[in-house]
Structure 1
Amino acid sequence: MSRTKKQTRKQFSLHAHVFTSLVKRAFREHSLLAAGGPGFVAMVTPKGYALSEFQKHVVDELYGDDPFFRRDDIHLAFMKLQGNQSDIMDDYTTHFQTKLRVVILLEHGVEVPPLINLACDGVIEIAPIKAIDLKAASMAVLRKPMSDEQAAALLSYPREYLWAALRDGRSPGNALQRLRNTTIPAQQNEAATDSSDHQSDGPRLSEMHGYGPAKDWGLELSQDIRDWKAGSITWNEIDRGILLSGPPGVGKTIFAKALAKECEAHLIASSLGKWQSEGHLGDLLKAMRKDFKNARLHSPCILFIDEIDAFGSRDAFSNDNKNYSVQVVNAFLEFLDGIDGREGVIIVGASNNVDGIDPAILRSGRLDRHVDIPLPSLAERVAILSQLIQGILPVTHLDLIGPSTQGMTGADLAKAVRDAKRLARRNRRQLTLEDLKASLPPTFKIVGEHRRSIAIHEAGHTLVGLKLRTGRFLGSFIADQIVVDSATQQGGGAYFENPRYGRRDRQFFLDQIALLLAGIAAEKICFGDISEGAGGEKSSDLASATRIATLMETSMGMGVSLAYSPVKEDSELDEVRRTDPAVTAAVSDTLTQQFERAIDTLTQHRSLLNLVADALDENGYFTPQAAHELFQTIRDDAQSLT
């Protein structure tokens, strides 16, 4: 019996005991959930702790061994600082409203989405490790007492070193001596110190890379503010605000900090979630009013409002909370208009979902300028890396790893540099190129049959787009390598530009659908089947084609019916297709017809398809000039034969 107990004790590490205790303590704040009953809570990790440190222990506590609940009744979700809130909203629709035991585990600093805040039973903050936790674990697992002084000293070391030193069979004193002998300085956890990279004492906007038109706007604004301070222009001549959009991680928050520094302006950062955390509607409006008032008092001031789409659109509010939500939006519009005066205050809004913003917020005089921040280019990524490492390595060295960063955001690059610096510190040396290579995600070379299949796919898009004149051809490309498991990675692309304004009839949208389906049409012709590359993601060819075909039926009046539906989001469009057989059939027919149209176009020009694919396969790109020369050569050959 004693041997069995000893084996069990060894398997349950001190590390696991500590984190299990922290999680159990958090669960006890919801007595019903802790007892194995139903409940829905959001749990926030302590500052400087990773979600992964708590994941297993939350799973164990959430699922437990109570046979009353089925696994289908339980759900666990995660929210990271650089995550996408729209994914949580999708989870809410799919799981949170139907499951009985639900926990959302949030990284410290993440603001709970308003809808989740309303739906959950409460927000519970998981406590950080304290001396009493380490002492209890030492007695339970190591069977050795630990003094308050020893616990405090041990907790001053990074946790990964702490767990390595506190092994079975060692006393706390021996573990502490081992740590001291390694010359590791007592310090805060590395995860906590990493947060210093996000403080406001960062670079000016003029020193930043990767922001495109947003940076141009910001530099012009800084000059305008200087002129306003000098009295050479009035405030009415300065832009009042801007809306920044783009994928998570492109640095919208960092942009606001750099802009404030460039403009030598005060910075106030807020969000609807922050205002809602103050309490009921009256408290929310009071907090909102306070931030706008402080912005005026500290002018010139950049008032940064994150996740501005959280306000929603008044046209889409449900009856359950419509009155509350309308009052919030109306108050926000009042402050944007500046009835009490807004001289010296620039509003910078950030959003990952521009379509969800009330149109009145984007009206002239409010946030009427919209700039989409793209993923940084190769040159910009190299420049960002050089800035992050403060010139320790020459740019010519960084060029060697530039292609391996394809698809990475500024936040991704910052994390890679932090990981590389940590690796260098552990090896007691200066940062090297090898450290950076080791911190980047693995890459996969696009060669052989894989490269040829992508060339065929992109050649199909290129040729159909050129033949149907779907827009101005900007070029096609194939990447030499892709980053493994990257959600934003592209193996290739073909780009056409349409005028922002102009007449767009049914034929225009049918041509766009044919263009989107031309890649798999080319695969069907050349290989006899199609690959997964055209689907699987919200931004994929198939998803985009299906979205257009559905909108033609539901809101554009270009389908079998003139009836209008206001739905725009993918989840709403999917619901329409699932519940309306007529729409489903019409969308399917449109997609099938345009797929066959693309096949017919490519079959008629099979030789051209092969020539474009050959150029892409060999060079990695196909330019508008190359397209012109290719078609000119074919025309000349045809004329010579006659």
Structure 2
Amino acid sequence: MFKKRTPLKRAKDFALYVTMKRALKGNAKFALGGAGHILLLAPEGTMPGEYSTAAFHALHPDEDILNADYGYMLLDDTMREGKILTEFESECGNKDRSIIVAAVNAVIPGGIRLAVDSILDIEPIGPRALRIAARVVLKMRVTETEAAQLLTYPKEHMWIALRSGRKLDDILRRMAALQREESRADHPKASQATPSLSEMHGYGKAKDWGLQLARDLYDWSVGTIPWDDVDKGLILSGPPGVGKTVFAKALAAECGVELVAGSLGQWQATGHLGDTLKAMRATFAKAKKAAPAILFIDEIDSFGDRSKFAPDNKDYSTQVVNAFLEQIDGVEGREGVVMVGATNNLENIDPAILRSGRLDQIIEVEMPNGADRVAILAAHLKSEFAASDLEGLKAATQEMSGADLAKAAREARRIARLAKRPVTIEDVNASLPTMVKIEGEMRRYIALHESGHTLVGNRLRHGIYIGTQIIDAISAQNTSARGGAAYFDMPLIARRDRQYYCDQIAVMLAGIAAEEIAYGAFADGGASDLAAATRVATLMEARYGMGATLTYSAAAEDAELERLRQFDRNLAERVHHTLQGEFERAKAILMEQRWLLDEVAAELVTVGSLTPTRLQELRSKEATLPVRSSVRGKRASAKAG
């Protein structure tokens, strides 16, 4: 990896070299030039790449580098386990001596922990290392007090300011002045308190849960209710960007308690297994000491499911999960600590974490709806606009998360700031994705597709029909978003037999069935409907025992179901037969209502929405035109044939 030796010309590199050499003393054999592989954990606030030059000099103490058999690699928090192991094998595995520098929040695979001889911590640059670097590289004498003072300033400022030939007094004076100036500029930001949950938008049931928790914590604090009556744990599930971390902060603000945060990645960054468990216990102990408090565990799915652990790191990972469960049980019996876990992948969480008495409350945070989106945007724009002022931006913000809306608000303020004026609606529009209008033949195509879902769903009485809607425009950055939908309210408790699922598949395929009737073929916009219908048909055969056999399969994820179809041709054929049959059934239902299909589509094109009442009015209109309806039906039948 190294081709030529680079001299330590920068004070920063020399200071990092000093801290690295000090860390390597933890393995005396390696420090004296012996063979071995060493994993060094970079201190918080530094990146592994900063240590490249230092590692080079630590591995090459002399100029004879052509025949050296040394290796070096970086390990950051973005690397996957497979890539880490492959890179280690190519860069370090066959070398006599190697150094791996890992980021503070990097997850270190079990294979790497087994391969290295020592895992050592690099200490942050302290006064001693800074004084040595200043003396050797800059020929500058720095006292212990001066070095400590320099280290109180941002490191990037310190290294830029420290230059050979400059007077140290002048450097310290200028850095102090810059800090005072930036402190004054940042003061308004620092004074802004975290909004409480009652002021937030877009959290639905999670917000209701949090507001109830705030009331319960107050009642508990004044002795009105016992601690056993307070919910002690919640899992927030949802896609990235919906604001799970923001929710935890707002919840703590609403409850008026301290927020203590942790994650497996942070705990693992402290070192080997013993260090990880020690850091975990310290976080829980901190929450207990701060009680009443909210203990927030981010990316709780990273603990994994013990039943799915790979053999090479099963023992390590199992011990971590077991220790986490012990801590949860401890919090369960400790008054004043409420746990909130966040995840993007609920299915990856060990079931024991979710069992009753632990984190048994699970609430999914969905992407915000139109009303919530404009309210969130208004909140980020602060006092510039009320939510009612932004009603026209619902379509432009479609599919945007809370994080996306916060970014748009920042961009709008930046536009106004550059123009040296208050934020305008035009600035907000300019910060949002360009909108493409849905009109002409494309609008009719979407309307016809949704009309198919509407009519088949109503004919089969598959749920209670709520309404149908198509949108007027779509974001240019999200052209795959749905252009419309037919909405049915499904009962939470129902007898779901084979006919129930067949009806569900027919409704799912009714959109492309309507397209084929009208256009002679369907387009690719129905791919998501096909995927959903294929999933249901496969579950009927392989999991629910509603097909050719009573054999049960535990497969539930789409990838698992796909593999079942790939390796079982009979299953794939039965799934195809079910889909084809329900597709034809949906077409037949629509052919019987060909005139009504056109009327509903025309209504959606013109109005953009359809209510149950309006659908009934259109049905009544058809009933008054028996001759015309019959003629239309015959023509449609002839065309389809």
TM beyond 0.5:
yes
Q: What residue is the counterpart of 1:142 in the other structure? A: none
2:327 corresponds to: 335
**Which of 363, 369, 375 is the aligned partner of 2:367?**
375
Aligned to 1:417: 409
The alpha-carbon deviation at position 500 of structure 1 amounts to 2.1
Deviation at 1:101, TM superposition (A): 8.8
Take 1:592 and 1:116, find their aligned partners in 2: how far apart are those partners?
48
Once residues 467 and 447 of structure 1 are traced to their aligned partners in structure 2, the CA distance between those partners, rounded to angstroms, is 29
Determine which of 515, 519, 523 is the counterpart of 1:531.
523
Superposed counterparts of 1:55-70, under 5 Å: none
Matched, 1:550 2:542: no
CA RMSD, aligned part only?
A: 4.7
Shift of 1:421: 1.7
AA partner of residue 586 (structure 1): R
Residue of structure 2 aligned with 1:621, choices 609, 634, 639: 609
Match of 1:430 among 401, 422, 425: 422
Q: Report sequence identity in percent.
A: 48
Partner of 2:340: 348
- Comparing 608-617 with 563-572, greater Cα deviation is found at 563-572
Question: Do the aligned partners of 1:114 and 1:310 also contact (CA within 8 Å) in 2?
Answer: no
SS state at 1:525 partner = helix
- Tell me how far 1:604 sits from its aligned partner: 2.0
Q: Tell me, in whole angstroms, the C-alpha distance in 2 between the residues paired with 1:573 and 1:208.
A: 39
Q: Please point out which of 204, 210, 215 is paired with 2:202.
A: 210
Change (3 A) 1:519 1:257: same
The residue correspondences of 1:5-24 to structure 2 (distance < 5 A) are none
Shift of 1:627: 2.8
What corresponds to 2:285 in structure 1?
293
Stretch of structure 1 that moved more, 256-265 or 420-429: 420-429
Question: Which residue number corresponds to residue 472 of structure 1?
Answer: 464
Q: Counterpart amino acid of 1:222?
A: A
TM-aligned CA distance change 1:98 to 1:247, over 3 Å: same
The aligned runs of 1:30-109 (5 Å cut-off) are none
Amino acid at match of 1:510: C
2:314 is matched with which residue: 316, 322, 325? 322
Q: Distance in 2 between matches of 1:96 and 1:399?
A: 48
Match of 1:303, SS? strand
Q: 1:400 to 1:358 in 2, by over 3 A?
A: same
SS of residue paired to 1:549: helix
Give the secondary structure class of the aligned counterpart of 2:271: coil
**Which of 523, 530, 554 is equivalent to 1:566?**
554
Contact 1:475/1:621 (CA < 8 Å) preserved in 2? yes
Letter in 2 for 1:479: I
The one-letter amino acid of 1:418's match is R
Q: Which residue identity does 2:545 align to in structure 1?
A: G
**Partner SS, residue 405 of structure 1:** coil
The answer (yes or no) to whether the contact 2:287–2:294 under 8 Å persists in 1 is yes
1:590 matches 2:590: no
SS at match of 1:247: coil
Count of paired positions: 513
User: Which residue of 602, 606, 609 corresponds with 2:594?
Assistant: 606
Is the counterpart of residue 408 in structure 1 residue 400 in structure 2? Answer: yes
Larger radius of gyration: 2
The 1:603–1:213 alpha-carbon spacing in structure 2 relative to 1, beyond 3 Å, is: same
Quick one: distance in 1 between partners of 2:492 and 2:77?
36
Deviation of 1:308 (Å) = 1.9
Task: Provide the residue aligned with 1:16 in structure 2.
Answer: none
* Structure 1: distance between partners of 2:252 and 2:90: 44
Does the alignment pair 1:249 with 2:241?
yes
Q: 1:517 maps to which residue?
A: 509
Q: How does 1:129-148 map to 2 (within 5 A)?
A: none
Kindly provide the amino acid, as one letter, of the partner of residue 613 in structure 1. A
CA drift at 1:453: 0.4
> Shift of the alpha carbon at 1:249?
0.9
Deviation for aligned residue 1:527:
1.0
1:199-219 CA-to-partner distances (Å, cap 9, x unmatched) read 994211111111111111111
Aligned partners of 1:308 and 1:483: how far apart in 2?
33
Q: 1:97 to 1:393 in 2, by over 3 A?
A: same
2:391 match: 399
Q: SS state of the match for residue 403, structure 1?
A: coil
> Which amino acid letter does the alignment assign opposite residue 258 of structure 1?
A
Aligned counterparts of 1:401 and 1:563: Cα–Cα separation in 2 = 51
Instruction: Identify the residue that residue 266 of structure 1 maps to in structure 2.
Output: 258
- Change in CA separation of 1:98 and 1:631 when aligned onto 2, cut-off 3 Å: farther
Deviates more, 1:310-319 or 1:294-303: 310-319
Q: 1:410/1:608 Cα in 2 relative to 1: closer, same or farther (>3 Å)?
A: same
Q: Structure 1 residue aligned with 2:379, among 377, 387, 390?
A: 387
After TM superposition, the score normalised by the length of structure 2 is 0.69
Report matched runs for 1:573-584 at 5 Å: 573-584=561-572
Name the counterpart of 1:453.
445
> 1:63 is matched with which residue?
none
Q: Normalised by the size of structure 1, how large is the TM-score? A: 0.69
Report the counterpart of residue 129 of structure 2 in structure 1. none
| Distance (Å, rounded) in 1 between the aligned partners of 2:380 and 2:257 | 24
> How many Å separate the matches in 2 of 1:260 and 1:486?
34
CA gap of 1:488–1:414, structure 2 versus 1, over 3 A, is farther
Q: Give the partner amino acid of 1:285.
A: L
Spell out, residue by residue over 1:253-277, the C-alpha distance to the aligned partner (whole angstroms, 9 max, x if none): 1000000000011111222222232
- Alignment equivalent of 2:302, drawn from 275, 298, 310: 310
For 1:576, the aligned partner's letter is: L
Q: Is the 8 A contact 1:200 1:257 kept in 2?
A: no
The one-letter amino acid of 1:237's match is D
Q: 1:323 to 1:419 in 2, by over 3 A?
A: same
Separation in 2, partners of 1:401, 1:247: 22
1:115 CA displacement: 7.1
Residues 461 and 515, structure 1, Cα contact 8 Å, conserved in 2: yes
Structure 1 residue 394, shift from structure 2 partner: 4.6
- Local SS of the residue matching 1:364: coil
Partner Cα separation in structure 2 for residue 322 and residue 450 of structure 1: 53
Structure 2 segments unaligned to the other structure (5+ residues): 1-12, 14-38, 48-75, 92-101, 123-132, 134-152, 158-178, 631-641
Measured after TM superposition, the shift of residue 223 of structure 1 is 0.9
Find the counterpart in structure 2 of residue 181 from structure 1. none
- Whole-Å separation in 1 of the counterparts to 2:279 and 2:588: 61
Q: Structure 1 432/519 Cα, relative in aligned 2: closer, same or farther at 3 Å?
A: same
SS at match of 1:244: strand
Out of 210, 220, 233, the position equivalent to 1:228 is 220
1:231 and 1:460 map into 2 onto residues whose CA distance is: 58
- The one-letter amino acid paired with 1:597 is R
Kindly indicate whether the alpha-carbon contact (under 8 Å) linking 1:514 and 1:597 is maintained by their aligned counterparts in 2.
yes
**Deviation per residue, 1:489-532 (Å, 9 max, x gap):** 32111122222233222222222222211111111111111122
Matched-pair contact (CA < 8 Å) for 2:237–2:346: yes
Give the 3 Å change call, closer, same or farther, for CA 622–592 of structure 1 in structure 2.
same
